[in-house]
A and B are shown apart, each in its own frame.
Chain A
Amino acid sequence: MSEKIKELLGEEAEVLLAEKRYEVISRILPKVLKGKKPLTRSDLLDKAFLNKYLGIPVFLALWWALFRFTFDVSAPLSDLIDMVFGRLGEIASMSIQNEQLASFVADGLIGGLGSVLVFIPPIFFLFFGLAILEDSGYLARAAFVVDRVMYKLGLHGKSFIPMLLGFGCNIPGIMATRTIDKEEDRILTILVNPLMSCSARLPVYVFIGGAVLGGYAAAGVYSMYILGIVLAVLMALLFRRIIPYFKGKPSAFILELPMYAMPTLRSTLAHMWERGVLFLKKAGTIILLATVVIWALSAYPWGAVHSGDEPLIEASYVGFLGHAIEPIFRPLGFDWRATVALFFGFVAKEIVVDTFGVLGLGGAEELQQVFNPVTGLAFMAFTLIYIPCLATIGVIYRETNSWKWTVFTVVYGVVLAYFVAFLIVGIGGMLGY
């Protein structure tokens, strides 16, 4: 029947009904609305922000300001939280008599809580900045500005905000894809979103880069962000070409732009809070649980690990695991400890740093024994690309409603990570490292 109706009525009835509804509105409006003037100011702003030549530079400048703001303001706070929890752990391990309980509270619970809380400053400041851009009406304009570029990359203009959010955390990024109407465009955006370097990966870059890249540490860290963007673009183009489901062009770009408005503190905070809490709930609980599991795996079997003065991690379940999977990573120059760190990093990437700490590689000198500059860089790239964290996988499943796409994201991530890391090590080798 539906076919028949569509055939008979086609768009005719539809256009007529929409027209009549707007006709009713046009009859009501003059009776209730007076003093309507053209939006000269808003249009002038649009002429500047959306300008063919000015649009992109203005956007890049604002974006850069947003990131500087986020990292500069949040870094000291994160350091403070890190320090406080470090102290708390020390106090706990000294004041609890029972050895196993002390280790559990200090390394498991307090350590886990600390690794969740250090994320609060960068995440919340990023969301605060984004909320200002959003409430002022600019964020929707940014989608307009980048649409041309995104289209060429096989993505939709609306894919842009989810990607931007991905730099804070992939979870709100992936959830923000809901504004994309066409299912194919939406899933494609979800698939490449984990390549946006979320704030959980930054500690890993800083930790490894700072230890082994010397004067190039900052450049190394920035290069990871660029690498992520480049890979996201390449993957989007590749998937459009080779996966039949994504064949064709991104769907039509239609977006109503909100009026420019002065952001208010209340609504900006409300926006920030909403997204931030989402992250805490989704990611926080998983990270906390995982830290406890990691603690258990690295502290047991208790007798074997704690036979000497210093705990012998190599004798733990973790050590066992690391040695078992190490051969796979040997071509990349990662030893068993790096392997273990990656294994746990799948739960949440910043756990990579914690794991190195637990395995006695917390300092620069120790790290330099494991990595040279090239393998260090390869490790950073691997951390960026492989498997999104557990919480993100959960969200990908919920948002795509498909195990197929969820598994696909995990598999392509690991394969790509291995490939890129191998490439880095190979090129480094040719250059004499």
Chain B
Amino acid sequence: MNLRIPLAFLPENKQATVVEVVGGRGLVRRLYELGFTPRTKVRVVSSSSPGPVLVDIRGARVALGRGVTMKIIVNPE
């Protein structure tokens, strides 16, 4: 399945693969450094729409604001 949705729309407990990160250079760079590189698996641990989202990325727990999760494009499994 080749669906592309923002991470913000991924429901709790669901896993997806990172397709790309869009946005300003500083933000993109920070997300790459935290491991949000293409083809990486990401899982939503807790989502408090419209608040921030907690994800599992490379075994670490990273909290992302709503705005940020709109900029991470993923392919849900």
Query: Closest approach, in angstroms, between the C-beta of A156 and any C-beta of chain B?
Result: 9
Interface string of B41-77 (1 = CB under 8 A from A): 0000110111110101011111111011000000000
Asked whether B61 lies within 8 Å of A42 as measured between CB atoms, the reply is: yes
**Known contacts A22-B35, A253-B68; is A47 also within 8 Å of B63 by CB?**
no
Closest to B67 in A: A252
Contacts of B33 in A (CB 8 A): 18
Asked whether A14 lies within 8 Å of B67 as measured between CB atoms, the reply is: no
**Known contacts A14-B29, A15-B38, A43-B45; is A254 also within 8 Å of B61 by CB?**
no
Residue A36, interface by CB 8 Å: yes
Asked whether B48 lies within 8 Å of A255 as measured between CB atoms, the reply is: no
Residue B5, interface by CB 8 Å: no
Tally chain A residues at the interface, Cβ within 8 Å. Answer: 33
Which of A81-89, A143-151, A235-243, A336-344 forms part of the interface with chain B?
Answer: A143-151
Asked whether A144 lies within 8 Å of B59 as measured between CB atoms, the reply is: no
Asked whether B51 lies within 8 Å of A257 as measured between CB atoms, the reply is: no
Q: Please report whether the interface of chain B is mostly helix, strand, loop or mixed according to DSSP.
A: mixed
Query: Closest approach, in angstroms, between the C-beta of A237 and any C-beta of chain B?
Result: 18
Q: Please report whether the interface of chain A is mostly helix, strand, loop or mixed according to DSSP.
A: helix
Asked whether B34 lies within 8 Å of A50 as measured between CB atoms, the reply is: no
Asked whether B38 lies within 8 Å of A51 as measured between CB atoms, the reply is: no
Q: How large is the interface on B (under 10, 10 to 19, 20 to 34, 35 or more residues)?
A: 20 to 34
Measured CA separation A11–B34 after assembly (Å): 15
Residue A19, interface by CB 8 Å: yes
Measured CA separation A259–B40 after assembly (Å): 21
Closest to B29 in A: A14
Query: Closest approach, in angstroms, between the C-beta of A17 and any C-beta of chain B?
Result: 8
**Known contacts A19-B37, A51-B48, A254-B34; is A46 also within 8 Å of B54 by CB?**
yes
Contacts of A254 in B (CB 8 A): 30-31, 34, 62-65, 68
Measured CA separation A182–B24 after assembly (Å): 13
Residue A52, interface by CB 8 Å: yes
Measured CA separation A22–B31 after assembly (Å): 13
Measured CA separation A11–B27 after assembly (Å): 11
Contacts of A52 in B (CB 8 A): 48-49, 51
Closest to B12 in A: A47
Interface string of A244-266 (1 = CB under 8 A from B): 00000100111111010000000
9 contacts between A and B (CB under 8 A): A15-B38, A46-B45, A147-B51, A147-B63, A157-B52, A254-B30, A254-B31, A254-B34, A254-B65
- List 4 tightest A-B contacts by C-beta distance, closest first: A253-B65, A148-B51, A18-B32, A52-B48
User: A residues bordering B, Cβ < 8 Å?
Assistant: 6, 11, 14-15, 18-19, 22, 36, 39, 42-43, 46-47, 50-52, 55, 140, 143-145, 147-148, 151, 157, 249, 252-257, 259
Contacts A18-B33, A19-B32 aside, 4 further interface pairs with beta carbons under 8 A come to A15-B38, A39-B56, A147-B52, A157-B52
